Amino acid sequence: MYQFAKACNVALLTLAISACTSSSDSNTAKIDGACSTDNIKQWAYDNLNDYYLFADQVSTVNPQSYTTANELVKDLRVQPFDRFSYVTDTSTSDEVFIEGKLFGIGYQWQPDSEDRVVISAVHANSPLGLTGTINRGDQIAAINGVQLQDLTEAQFNEFTGTREQPARANWTFIDGQTNQSKTVALTPALYDMNTVFHSEVIEHPDHSGKIGYMVFDVFVRASEAELDATLTTFRNEGINELVLDLRYNGGGLVDIATKLSSQIAGAVTDGKPLMEYRHNNKYSEEFDFSLQFSDEPIDLGLERLIVLTTERTASSSEIVISSLSPYIEVVTIGSRTTGKPYITFGNEYCDKQMHALQAEGFNANNVSVYGGIAPSCGATDDLTRNFGYSTDGGTTEGMLQSAIDYIVQGTCNTPATAADPVTLNDGSNGLSIIDSFSENRLEPGARYNREIN
């Protein structure tokens, strides 16, 4: 699997990236001259020494000794705080977060206990999703007859092609339920994202009310309509508990996180402090700001929120958890989250967009999520089951079952241990792959849109 993971990492697209907003001249480095690679590297280096949250700790280097601006920024990230800053193409960032589109085959994957590549989620509108034959829990076995363990990076690139010239390849999967093989021909393509992977209203015989369950994947502009539709259904059904599944949600637009948090709690949080963002000493007085909860027409008014989390739960997902915890009961079930309390602004130069950490967020109790949010109860991702509640006598997916049991019993099936580790998730391994094929790689971060102020 190593070669496959390495190949995917060259091409992966991780969705939780940072916000773009217009920046004033005072906090954006300016360079005269053409859009040469040397100028772009100098621009990135100057930014790190200016508005970057840890500017006073940046090493002194010759920026021209690096091949690209992204290589420079990644090398100069201040440890252990920053695993996230990067430089990308402006067009790619806007395509994902504003237009709600992805280019690829359309799946997420994780290794199982035997180090096999297992599908953890399928994007419904993608080439893979449109086949209707591949599901969560299926294993990727081979591409064009080459077994995954033997697949080289060069072969992966040959079999998938480029964005300009995508290649059609035969992908072989092993059905997670029947263990039978199935082969489908797939060509990478641009497709519309679906960000609510699954939603339903659960009526459990031992619970007097109704439970809303939603698997939410990423905070992008396209999410707004999906979330509104799902929460409207929950409100009309009269749910009194919500299980928000953020196990794979690496973040995104902060204004979407603000809206979702406000919709969940309702009137109890209207107008109250949500998060406060603090910049470095140079810009703190001028640019520090606070966000407040908003008054939303779709109002669930819940007194408790249950969130399913893993090491991939980051950024805007952590904002929802952290911002609500001072006002309502928030129970997290799973494992410790990534721990990304920072936001960035997509400062642009030529066709590049730089996402250097610019501010750290603190909730109304002055708490940052640095180090990750420890779970209230332990649970592991059950890749053998599809998302959702089983009503036909089958087995419900493990993390959801733990949440339902907590609602019914009031206690954890598996207590969280004090030794729950901090997982340093920098988006560089297979656990962070959102779409295994893309011509660009983007890394985790939170995206903030000033239009919400």
Question: What was the pLDDT predicted at 420?
Answer: 52
pLDDT in tens, 205-243: 999 999 999 999 999 999 999 999 999 999 999 999 999
Question: What was the pLDDT predicted at 115?
Answer: 86
By DSSP bridging, strand 342-343 and strand 107-111 are: unpaired
Question: Measured in whole angstroms, how far is the alpha carbon of residue 226 from the centre of its chain?
Answer: 16
pLDDT in tens, 16-71: 333 333 233 333 344 455 799 999 999 999 999 999 999 999 999 999 999 999 99
Question: What was the pLDDT predicted at 422?
Answer: 43
Task: Kindly report whether the peptide bond that precedes residue 80 is cis, defined as omega within 30 degrees of 0.
Answer: yes
On whether the CB atoms of residues 155 and 146 are closer than 8 A, the answer is: yes
Higher pLDDT, 426 or 261: 261
Strand-pairing partners, residue 214, are 199, 244
Where along the chain do the CATH 2.30.42.10 domains lie? Answer: 101-192
Question: What was the pLDDT predicted at 32?
Answer: 52
Does 447 have pLDDT greater than 90? Answer: no
DSSP 8-state assignment for residue 283: T
The domain defined by 196-341+359-425 folds into 2-enoyl-CoA Hydratase; Chain A, domain 1 (3.90.226)
Question: What's the chain's average pLDDT?
Answer: 86
CA distances from 71 to 14, 37, 375, 403 (A): 17, 12, 34, 42
| Side-chain half-sphere CA neighbours of 298 within 13 A | 19
pLDDT in tens, 153-168: 999 999 999 999 999 9
SS3 175: coil
CA distances from 359 to 3, 19, 276 (A): 37, 12, 9
pLDDT in tens, 80-137: 999 999 999 988 778 888 888 999 999 999 988 888 999 999 999 999 999 999 999 9
> Tokens 């721990």 appear where?
339
| Side-chain half-sphere CA neighbours of 392 within 13 A | 1
The domain defined by 101-192 folds into Pdz3 Domain (2.30.42)
Where along the chain do the CATH 3.90.226.10 domains lie? Answer: 196-341+359-425
Question: What was the pLDDT predicted at 442?
Answer: 26
pLDDT in tens, 355-402: 999 999 999 999 999 999 999 999 999 999 999 999 877 789 999 999
pLDDT in tens, 345-363: 889 999 999 999 999 999 9
Does 445 have pLDDT greater than 70? Answer: no
Q: How far apart are CA 165 and CA 68, in angstroms?
A: 24
- The average pLDDT across 429-444 equals 26
In this prediction the pTM is 0.86
